[in-house]
A and B are shown apart, each in its own frame.
Chain A
Amino acid sequence: MRSSAAFVFTQERIVIVITLALFVLFSATLSNFLTAGNILALIQNVSILGILGVAMALAIIGRGIDLSVVATMAVSVAWVLQLSNNGVPIDLAILMGLGLALSIGLANGFLVAYIEIPAIFATLAMGTVAYGFVRSLLLDDNLIYLKGASDTWFEWIGSGQVLGVPNAVLLFGLVALVAHVILRITVAGRFLYAMGDNPVAARSTGVPIRPLILLQYVTSAAIAFIAGVIAATSVDSVETRIARSNLVYDIILVVVIGGVGLSGGKGSIRNVIVGTLMIGVLVNGMTIMNVPYTLQNIIKSLILLGAIIVDSIMNPRDEQTSQQGDI
């Protein structure tokens, strides 16, 4: 129980404090840090991570996890580029790619909701299946360039800007806002919290658990597709090998570090934004300082570890709060 009188150091607040401290430190010591251009660049660089974080948060809040987001993102958008390079009109190609992403989400949801495979295994397997299937049957190459639809509105999605603000930043904001509204205001959103908090109780009070799980994974796949489109149009290519990278751990990290509990039912989109911004500020500052790559990784992990340690000291686990890891 949180007391309302005293200021409580929740994990989210600890991360906010660390982020602000880093922000002040970098602003004071680095001459090029505190400029509008750099702050926008900072957010732009983590916007894909943040959007994927939103997808992951939806899965985790509903007491699931989606380890296939990166594979879904890579293969569905790679297919869009390949189709368009082969002469398919870009709007049709987008629809087909979105269809592919949604079917991966649907398959995830079906495995978790109806076959009752734990989400961690179902989505892990599904990510590999989706990558292998699409890579071997639909794609010619690991790396697909954006050629067919270059210099069109499609390319503008990830590389353009509105009033000086990069589109990637605006789209991150939009996706986060829509997800926030859905979680806070709609019935489906409230049901998702109920299901994440206590699936058995939610079910006995009449929440349609199985269709909700289906919806949860389809939504996360759709968001992954959006992230993929932005990523692909910002570097004019998709490297499907990213499906096999460590990116998925970074995504879980920004979600959990921001304060979304892995046990489900807890947290909000604000947590994702906080976690994402912390990584963004840290990496941006270190890049400006030209800290060597290996050292950057060490510092990043130490600060994240520090945040978790501070949280364990400030908010000790007890019987009620220690039921984490039940994913």
Chain B
Amino acid sequence: MNKHMLATLLAAAIGTAGLIGAVRAEQPDDGLVNESAAAMKGKKVAFVPIAMGFDLTEAWAAGLKHDAESLGYNLTIRDPNWSVDAGAQAFSQLISEQPDVIVVHPPEIQAYTRLIQQANAQGIPVITMNLKADANGDVFIGANWYDIAVKQTEAIVKSCGAGSGKSGKIAVMQGVLTNPTSQYGIQAIEATLKQHPEVQIVSNQAADWDASKAHAIAVTVLKANPDLCGFIGMWDNMDVGIAAAIKEAGKTGQVALVSSGGGNQASACDNVANGNFSTYISYDAKGQARDLMMAVRSILQNKPAEPGAKAYALYTPLKTITKDSNYPGACWNLDDVKKYGP
């Protein structure tokens, strides 16, 4: 590249930057816009997911990246790739780096409890995502697992309970037993079924969120209970294994499968459309991403006087998706969220 070209490029770059500056500067101060922008610019936001590379965390991260770019805050993502130890390590490392807000996605109820308290004690606000930890931090954004399981159970009661003419036998597929999804979910299922004694749990197993394990268990359960009426699954990515077992047994449509998850197109709406899932409770991770963006904006502008002292919850509005309510736009697509923001 010769000097002349370089000079031209440089001039062009300066010109463009000047133009942008001019456009920005034109916005009149409405009394809040400059102040709020200044409060967020240059701040440090950190995110510790359970792992990147799956729909929920990718959608949330896409939201934060979008805001980091447009509002000018710094975003750090530490990916422990499903390791609880590595996650705890990343979290405590972040505490010493003193960011302005830490977003965590706890893998278990207990795992991060002390660290959340520690961060709060050091004056760092903490937002917990989707899986409730024992310590509240400042904001919880996510699904109410008890409520999801109540809705799932109600759906299965509709298919298998009194008046359905079915056996009333159902099976429950849990994920990892120490996970809040399972812990609160199973309580909700049992409590709801107390009002419906005609519906009985004949199998209650755990498959470690693994579709192959869920498939193996479902194959056995379907053989051992030929009159089984339905399954309650606890995560779409695992429940496709149950769906495959039902399909193999030639019972798609006869055996109900009620699933739940973050509501992305491939995992949720496609599986409802093709009959794999009879009912799906979505906690709309795209909506959660938007909630997270707003919670971070709120904390950056208005830092709690004493982090951790007064927590509040933004429980995700749930969507029930069945063949009848599977409208275009009921689900979201990760590529689009990454490209255009939540």
Question: A residues within 8 Å of B by Cβ?
Answer: 30, 32-33, 35, 37-38, 41-42, 44-45, 48, 135, 141-143, 145, 147, 159, 161, 166, 231, 234-237, 239, 241-242, 244-245, 283-284, 287-288, 290, 292-294
| B297 sits at the interface (CB 8 A) | no
Nearest-neighbour CB distance to chain B for A36, whole angstroms, equals: 10
When chains A and B are docked, how far (Å) is the Cα of A151 from the Cα of B221?
A: 25
Residues of chain B from 13 to 72 with CB closer than 8 A to chain A in the complex: 51, 53-55, 58
| B10 sits at the interface (CB 8 A) | no
Looking at chain A's contact residues, is the secondary structure mostly helix, strand, loop, or mixed? helix
Nearest-neighbour CB distance to chain B for A53, whole angstroms, equals: 15
When chains A and B are docked, how far (Å) is the Cα of A239 from the Cα of B54?
A: 10
> Interface size class for chain B?
35 or more
Take A234-B244, A235-B241, A293-B177 as given contacts and tell me if A287 and B82 are in contact as well, using a CB distance cutoff of 8 Å.
Answer: no
When chains A and B are docked, how far (Å) is the Cα of A151 from the Cα of B217?
A: 24
Q: Among A159, A236, A242, A290, which residue has its beta carbon within 8 angstroms of that of B203?
A: A290
Nearest-neighbour CB distance to chain A for B135, whole angstroms, equals: 26
Q: Which residues of A contact B267 (CB under 8 A)?
A: 143, 145
Q: Which residues of A contact B89 (CB under 8 A)?
A: none
Nearest-neighbour CB distance to chain A for B105, whole angstroms, equals: 15
Q: Among A38, A161, A294, which residue has its beta carbon within 8 angstroms of that of B220?
A: A38
Check A293–B220 contact: CB distance below 8 A: no
Check B210–A245 contact: CB distance below 8 A: yes
Check B206–A147 contact: CB distance below 8 A: no
Q: Among A30, A135, A241, which residue has its beta carbon within 8 angstroms of that of B82?
A: A241
- A-B pairs, top 5 by smallest CB distance, nearest first, are A45-B216, A293-B206, A32-B224, A235-B211, A142-B53
- 16 A-B pairs (CB sep. < 8 Å): A32-B225, A41-B219, A135-B53, A141-B53, A145-B266, A147-B266, A147-B270, A235-B214, A236-B243, A237-B211, A242-B212, A244-B82, A288-B220, A293-B205, A293-B206, A294-B177
Nearest-neighbour CB distance to chain A for B232, whole angstroms, equals: 15
Q: A33-B224, A231-B212, A235-B211 are in contact. List 15 more A-B contacts (CB 8 A).
A: A38-B220, A44-B219, A45-B220, A143-B54, A145-B267, A234-B212, A235-B240, A235-B244, A237-B237, A239-B212, A242-B212, A244-B81, A287-B221, A288-B224, A294-B177
